[in-house]
Amino acid sequence: MRTLVHPERDQLQLTTILAALSDPIRLRLIRELALAGEMPCGEFASPVAKSTMSHHVRTLREAGVLRVRLQGTQRRLSLRSEDLDARFPGLLSAVLQADASVEDSARSIEPEPREGEEGGMA
C-alpha cells in the first residue's frame, strides 16, 4: 500500500494553502470537517465524482490542510488545525468565517418565488 505524504508543520507554505483553499468544493469539505471533526472520505455530500473528490482531498493533504488517516479500507479526514494555527495564526478561522459570510450573503439575495410559482428549478 502506498504511503500518504503529509508535509511537516515547518514545510507549510501560505501560497500553497491559499491555492488549495481557492476551490469552492474544497472549501465546502473544510467547512464540513470544521463542524464534524474527523470523517470518512465517503461521507461527504459532494456534487462531484469520486475521482474528482480524491483529487480535492489529495490537493488539501499535500498543501498541509488535511490529515488523511487510513483505517482498514477507509480514509478518514481531519483538519490540521493545530499545525495551521501554529504556522499561520488565525488563517483557518478567517477563511472559514469569510466563506460562511459569503454563503450567507448569497442565500440572502436569492430571489423568493413569486406568488403562484414554485421554488427551485424545473
Percent of the chain whose predicted confidence (pLDDT) is above 70 = 80
CB-CB contact of 39 with 68 (8 Å)? no
Q: Where are the domains of the chain?
A: 9-100
Q: pLDDT value at position 61?
A: 95
- When pLDDT is cut at 50, 70 and 90, the band that residue 80 belongs to is very high
DSSP secondary structure letter of residue 72: T
Cell of 121: 428549478
For the segment 99-110, what is each residue's pLDDT rounded down to a tens digit?
A: 776 555 445 444
Task: Please tell me which residue, 43 or 119, carries the higher pLDDT value.
Answer: 43
pTM for this predicted structure: 0.78
CA distance 29 to 57: 9
pLDDT (0 to 100) of residue 3: 77
Q: Distance of CA 28 to CAs 23, 61, 95, Å?
A: 9, 15, 11
Residue 38 to residue 36: CA distance in whole angstroms: 6
Give the gyration radius of the chain's Cα atoms: 17
Per-residue model confidence (pLDDT) at position 121: 46
- CATH top-level class for 9-100? mainly alpha
